[in-house]
Amino acid sequence: MPPRFIAKQLSHPTGLFGSIMARLMNRHNAKMNAFAMEQLDLKPTDRVLEIGFGGGLNLSHLISNVAFVAGVDRSSAMVKRAKKYFRDAVSSGRADFREGSVEAIPFESESFDKVCTVNTIYFWNSLEAGFAEIYRILSPTGRAVIGFLPKDHMDHMGMPSDIFTTRGPQEVVSALELASFSEIRIERPNSSTSWNVLIASR
């Protein structure tokens, strides 16, 4: 299968292959997602937004542990999938999934306590615009958790540069600082872990 087709599906899953890709992403990203969930420090009263939820790997855990879960994804196929799989939570008002981008999050200001996004920053048009939006929708004491594979590892994968924009850790930290986030830190399960999870406070 052509690498460019796979890259496009990773960026924006569609159709039958999009559903297959969602399952593969869930399997491949499981460890990073689990670690990111730990860094959220979830409370039962939390309102949580996941940006780029894709195959929905984290959604079951979130819905089971917090008061309200929302999701934003660029893929209408993934939004439709989430609404179907979690229809009980949606119908009871405990979940809401919408199509949209990080640069224009379709939710009101200060409406979430926690925000998480894993393996999505490669597809953002602008780190600065994305983090400014995340800052806007977080409550004054909110927390953002961002998981990603850094540039030095991503560049070895040979993904098309017009689809994937690889990001170095300091570039991401600087964009968070520019958006007025504080207490920014990078966490990994151990020193040999290739990916990073950034935690930042509103």
pLDDT in tens, 60-113: 999 999 999 999 998 888 899 999 999 999 999 999 999 999 999 999 999 999
Domain ranges of the chain: 3-201
What the block records as the tokens of 16 is 């039958």
pTM beyond 0.75, yes or no: yes
What is the pLDDT averaged over residues 139-146? 96
Indicate the CATH number for domain 3-201.
Answer: 3.40.50.150
Q: What is the rounded CA–CA span in Å between residue 168 and residue 182?
A: 19
pLDDT digits (tens, 9 = 90+) for 38-50: 999 999 999 999 9
pLDDT at 2: 44
Phi and psi torsions of 80, nearest 5°: -60, -40
Amino acid identity at 121: I
The residue with greater pLDDT, 14 or 116, is 116
pLDDT of res. 61: 93
* Six-digit token string for 127: 């780190």
